[in-house]
């Protein structure tokens, strides 16, 4: 059984999570990245019943500070659908992660740096318990090999990342789904992420 078919068949979230958790890492990634736009919307809506995410989901506690963790992604856009969100835990900031977007268009549109943090202390934001916040710019100190940090209000990246936030929900131990908002008003679309198996 494939994840996409299970979503179409309205399988319970517990079954979706168990299915993904049982797969080898490469197959889990392949099935996650095969989820198309219309199914991403359905999956996000149904994931409201899942347990809230924490920052440890994106960078597990055993990963050292300032160490890259890759989540492979697919968005609901008609083009340039595949990308990576690369995350790290900064050594000097508690309660947040930093990251950027790696994709074939990154040299043109920029890295799209973000700061991820809980949406609120009580976890009452129904959109998701963790927000990827492109309004915020990380400190210049980043993991080795990352591109130079620059605000999303500069260059061509302002048309992609500026004034946006992504709200994240849990699917399984490695897989999450997000919804992107522009200025907290306009829904820009959905995307799925699968954490790299090396970060288990």
When mean pLDDT is compared across 11-15, 32-36, 74-78, 135-139, the lowest value belongs to: 74-78
Partnered with residue 170 across adjacent β-strands are 176
| CB of 170 closer than 8 Å to CB of 57 | yes
Q: Hey, which bits of 89-137 come out as E strands?
A: 97-102, 114-118, 130-133
Domain ranges of the chain: 3-199
Task: Identify the sign of the CA torsion 7, 13, 17, 23.
Answer: negative
Instruction: Dump pLDDT digits (tens) for 131-182.
Output: 999 999 998 889 999 999 988 888 777 777 889 999 999 999 999 999 999 9
- Number of other residues whose CB lies within 10 A of the CB of residue 175: 27
Structure tokens at 186: 């306009």
Query: Is the pLDDT reported for residue 127 higher than 60?
Result: yes
What pLDDT was estimated at residue 15?
97
180 to 96, 134, 142, 177, 186: CA distances (angstroms): 19, 10, 24, 10, 8
When mean pLDDT is compared across 6-15, 53-62, 177-186, the lowest value belongs to: 177-186
What is the phi-psi region of residue 60: left when phi exceeds 0, alpha when psi lies from -120 to 50, beta otherwise?
Answer: beta
**pTM score, whole prediction:** 0.93
Distance CA 90, CA 178 (A): 22
For domain 3-199, give the CATH number.
2.40.128
């Amino acid at each position: 059984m494939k994840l996409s078919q299970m979503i179409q068949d309205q399988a319970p979230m517990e079954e979706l999570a168990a299915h993904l958790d049982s797969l080898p890492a490469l197959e889990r990634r392949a099935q996650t990245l095969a989820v198309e736009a219309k199914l991403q919307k359905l999956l996000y809506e149904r994931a409201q019943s899942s347990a809230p995410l924490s920052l440890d989901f994106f960078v597990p506690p055993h990963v050292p500070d300032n160490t890259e963790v890759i989540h492979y992604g697919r968005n609901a856009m008609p083009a340039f659908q595949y990308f990576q969100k690369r995350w790290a835990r900064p050594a000097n900031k508690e309660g947040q992660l930093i990251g950027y977007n790696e994709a074939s268009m990154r040299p043109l549109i920029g890295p799209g740096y973000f700061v991820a943090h809980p949406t609120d202390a009580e976890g009452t934001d129904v959109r998701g318990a963790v927000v990827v916040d492109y309004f915020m710019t990380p400190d210049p100190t980043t993991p080795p090999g990352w591109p130079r940090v620059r605000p999303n209000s500069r260059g061509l990246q302002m048309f992609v990342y500026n004034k946006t936030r992504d709200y994240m929900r849990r699917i399984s131990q490695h897989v999450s789904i997000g919804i992107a908002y522009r200025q907290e008003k306009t829904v820009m679309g959905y995307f799925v992420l699968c954490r790299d198996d090396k970060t288990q």
